[in-house]
Amino acid sequence: MSKARVYADVNVIRPKEYWDYESLAVQWGNQDDYEVVRKVGRGKYSEVFEGINVNTNEKCVIKILKPVKKKKIKREIKILQNLCGGTNVVKLFDVVRDQHSKTPSLIFEYVNSTDFKVLYPTLTDYDICYYIYELLK
């Protein structure tokens, strides 16, 4: 088995709570605080909607997860919590679930942006390198 040359031991210097997503106790918020406005996208594991926080009247993004193992959901939540506050990282505001179906949803800050499917074909190799660099900062 090969060993990564970079960041191979990154979790050694971190407390167990940082990387042990299986032990994460999810703090579920109130789903009734949010309403779906319109669908903006979908992926293999979720559908994404523009939404609104009914308490603050602020826009948000609601990512409704398709049925997957709890382990995958916990891993995504933990990674998002660890990245919180990072440069160019969308903020995770809340984690909620439907009371009846138990379907989980992630609530993110709303970012006004161009649809990826429209933007991507216009990008040059330099543009792509720049955006990847910005993500890795």
Q: What is the CATH number of the domain that holds 57?
A: 3.30.200.20
Residue 97: inside a domain, yes or no? yes
- Helix, strand, or coil here: 115? coil
Residue 122 pLDDT: 96
Known binding residues: 63
Q: What average pLDDT score do residues 25-37 get?
A: 96
Q: Which of 115, 136, 119 is nearest to 48 (CA)?
A: 115
pLDDT at 7 over 80: no
What is the DSSP-derived secondary structure letter of residue 114? Answer: -
First to last CA, the chain: 29
Known binding residues for ATP: 63
| Number of domains comprising the chain | 1
pTM score of the predicted model? 0.84
Going 108 to 110 to 113 to 116, the CA torsion angle's sign is positive
Confidence of residue 91 (pLDDT cuts 50, 70, 90): very high
Q: What is the pLDDT of residues 48-89, one digit of tens each?
A: 999 999 999 999 999 999 988 999 999 999 999 998 988 888
Which domain, by its residues, includes 81? 10-112
Under a CB-based contact definition with an 8 Å cutoff, are residues 18 and 38 in contact?
no
- Helix, strand, or coil here: 133? helix
pLDDT at 3 over 80: no
Q: Which residues are registered as beta bridge partners of 100?
A: none
Q: What is the pLDDT of residues 100-126, one digit of tens each?
A: 999 999 999 999 988 888 999 999 999
Residue 43: inside a domain, yes or no? yes
Residue 127: inside a domain, yes or no? no
Residue 54 pLDDT: 98
Rounded distance, CA 26 to CA 113, Å? 29
Residue 94 pLDDT: 97
> Which residue has better confidence, 1 or 112?
112
Going 55 to 58 to 59 to 61, the CA torsion angle's sign is negative
